[in-house]
Amino acid sequence: MAETPRTSSSAPPDTPPSGATGSPDGDPAGRLRTLSDELVELRSTLEKGGGERRIQRQHDQGKLTARERGATLLDDDSSFAEVGLLVAHDLYDGKAPGAGVVTGVGRVHGREVVVVANDATVKAGSWWPETITKILRAQEIAMRCRIPILYLVDSAGVNLPYQGGVFPGQYGAARIFYYNSIMRRYLRVPQFSAVMGPCIAGGAYLPALSDSIIMVEGTSFMGLGGPNLVKGATGQVVESEELGGARVHTEVSGVAHYRVPDDEACLAKLRELVRELPVPDTALAVPAEGPPPARDPEDLFDLLPDDHRQPYDMREVLGCILDQGALDEFQADRAREMICGTGHIDGVPVGIITNARGLVQDPRGGRPTFGGIVYTESAEKVAFFIDTMNRQRRPLLFVQ
């Protein structure tokens, strides 16, 4: 039975706006819609990676793009929660959209997986300093959630002019390989690599430390140095395929485990490997789709003020997010400036932590508090709630 929003006098809504939502032009919703449209346009541009010309070049080589690979890999009905699309988009004169890597969470055969896909349309998929940050973040998600991580490799290695920002420090490129080892040796988090293009220099360690490696015949290469480096160092002329191609690594070196003819077959094999994984006891069931929110999400444009410093009703905002707008509030009578509770989003049970907006009156006649400020009582309330949600293994949504 669906829960209903708590509206009793013991849990009054936040102080409603009183003329506070006005903006200089008198149209806060219009301003927010403009910002939203700009974000949608920016996303559309960034999702094209290096642009149409480089996408066509990828196709001419018989390869799919990073996003096409991701779409082929994931279930048809799977969403893709991308992480870090805007990273580095305003750096390097706009030459590094997404830092040349696509990272996020989706589903394969109904099972949640983390995907890390090099975007070869952006500087041949080379690693920028921000690429390291995105890959590490993806690995941390896989480790914390104990879900498989899939690497779709097509990279020319480190972007040498920026290598000074790639290697140094505790969170430099070497930490990627440290996480590889931790997942493989201690956490037992499945790691599969699909090498569908070049995989050169230090970047070759990443698939080499995975549980299984798939290589595409004719287009993939894996090695610490390419033919040009070999020629420069030894004078020997050798082709890429015989130096580090799919056949060499599956028949001679034994580094790779499966050889396939093209990208489509590679991704099909990757799906097969995920399907054959045993389901851990800790896996969360994927629920059926839940009922819609109580309010149209488009109402958020009218509920949120143009000036973020102005008050608004946070419970009305949650009504646009939660299934049927139903919030079962936790400790509703204590520390009212912080709102904690449980609900569902698309059928998934979640815990919600948010702060009230504006002045919050004390029903006992005490001193009012302000939403957005963490007091001693609110800190205790939130800490206990987080601990409870952790024991119940519920994901947390922070609306700040």
Claim to verify: residue 85 and residue 233 sit in the same structural domain: yes
Between helices 66-73 and 263-275, what is the axis angle to 10°?
Answer: 40
Is residue 33 included in any domain, yes or no? no
Is residue 244 included in any domain, yes or no? yes
Claim to verify: residue 104 and residue 157 sit in the same structural domain: yes
| Residue where a domain stops, chosen among 245, 275, 305 | 275
Q: What integer pLDDT is reported at residue 21 of this predicted model?
A: 44
CATH number at residue 91: 3.90.226.10
Q: Which residue has the tokens 């013991």?
A: 10
Claim to verify: residue 234 and residue 330 sit in the same structural domain: no
Is residue 15 included in any domain, yes or no? no
Claim to verify: residue 197 and residue 54 sit in the same structural domain: yes
pLDDT in tens, the chain (400 residues): 344 444 434 444 444 444 444 444 557 678 888 989 999 999 999 999 999 999 999 999 999 999 999 999 999 999 999 999 999 999 999 999 999 999 999 999 999 999 999 999 999 999 999 999 999 999 999 999 999 999 999 999 899 899 888 988 889 999 999 999 999 999 999 999 999 999 988 788 899 999 999 999 999 999 888 888 888 888 888 888 888 899 999 999 999 999 999 999 999 999 999 999 987 766 566 666 789 999 998 998 888 888 777 888 889 999 999 999 999 999 888 888 999 999 999 888 999 999 988 888 888 888 888 888 889 999 999 999 999 998 888 899 999 8
- pTM, full prediction: 0.82
Q: What integer pLDDT is reported at residue 281 of this predicted model?
A: 64
Range of the domain at 314: 286-399
Is residue 14 included in any domain, yes or no? no
**CB of 259 closer than 8 Å to CB of 215:** yes
Is residue 40 included in any domain, yes or no? no
Claim to verify: residue 221 and residue 168 sit in the same structural domain: yes
Q: What integer pLDDT is reported at residue 50 of this predicted model?
A: 93
Claim to verify: residue 266 and residue 393 sit in the same structural domain: no
Is residue 183 included in any domain, yes or no? yes
Number of domains in the chain: 2
Is residue 300 included in any domain, yes or no? yes
How far is Cα 138 from Cα 156, in angstroms, rounded to an integer?
20
How far is Cα 224 from Cα 237, in angstroms, rounded to an integer?
16
Closest CA to 344 of 292, 387, 296: 292
Claim to verify: residue 211 and residue 304 sit in the same structural domain: no
**CB of 130 closer than 8 Å to CB of 159:** no
